[in-house]
Structure 1
Amino acid sequence: MILDDELLNAVAAEAKRSERLRMNRDLRNSADDTSQRMLNALEVGTVLPIHRHRSTSETQILLRGRIDVMFYDDLGRETDRFRLDPRSGAYGVDIPAGQWHSLTVLEPAVIFEAKDGPYRPLAPDDVLE
């Protein structure tokens, strides 16, 4: 599979139609694949809760658009903010395992995400509300 404008446009179109204003495209070879690789198309207005992945770091590479990625402490206070915009040379962020994080979409975006290990839904205590 080639990651080109045609694929990014298709995933972005699905995000626009989605009630959540975002859509993932799984890039794993099978459900047994021991890594997580995906495209995540995000529209302005999508809401990602503050969350963490206890056992894996997460790498996000912005392919198009503009987003802010925020880090938080255990009380939900913002500790860092990174503006990603490939046009200005800010392409991605590596999020350490256990780091609370979220993002805000500033213009429609597509990111490539990678995490270690198989997919596991977030546990309730890994989401700050």
Structure 2
Amino acid sequence: MEINDKLLDELQQKAQASERRRAAMDLRNDANEQSQRMLNALEPGTVVPIHRHPTTAETCLLLRGRLDEIFYDDNGNEIARHHFNTANGVYGLQIPAGQWHTIEVFEPSVILEVKAGSYEPSHPEDIK
């Protein structure tokens, strides 16, 4: 599969039509793989709960658009804001394991998310 503008456009159309204002595409070959790779199309107004991945870092790369990745402390206080903008040459970051985070989307965007280990749904204690 080639990751190109046509694919990203189609994924963004799904996000626009979604009640959640986002759409994901799993890039794994099967559910038993020991990595998590996905494209995530995000529209302004989508709500991603503040969450963490307690045992793995997450790589987040912006392929198109503009958004902020926001870090929080254990009490829910914002401690850092990272501005991703392809027009300015800022494409992403490595989110440390256990770091509380979310995003704020300013224009239609697509990110690539990569984490180690097989997929596990978030546990309630890992969502604020």
In the superposition, the TM-score normalised over structure 1's length comes to 0.98
How far 1:13 sits from its partner (Å)? 0.5
4+ long deviations beyond 3 Å: none
Alpha-carbon RMSD across the aligned residues, in angstroms, is 0.5
Is residue 2:34 matched to residue 1:34?
yes
Aligned to 1:18: 18
- 1:63-78 to structure 2, matched below 5 A, reads 63-78=63-78
Aligned to 2:89: 89
Give ranges in structure 2 of 5+ residues lacking alignment.
none
The percent identity for this pair of structures is 54
Give ranges in structure 1 of 5+ residues lacking alignment.
none
Separation in structure 1 between the aligned mates of residue 34 and residue 9 of structure 2, nearest angstrom = 27
Is residue 2:22 matched to residue 1:6?
no
Aligned to 1:53: 53
SS at match of 2:66: strand
Aligned to 1:110: 110
Count of residues in correspondence between the two structures: 128
In the superposition, the TM-score normalised over structure 2's length comes to 0.99
SS at match of 1:76: coil
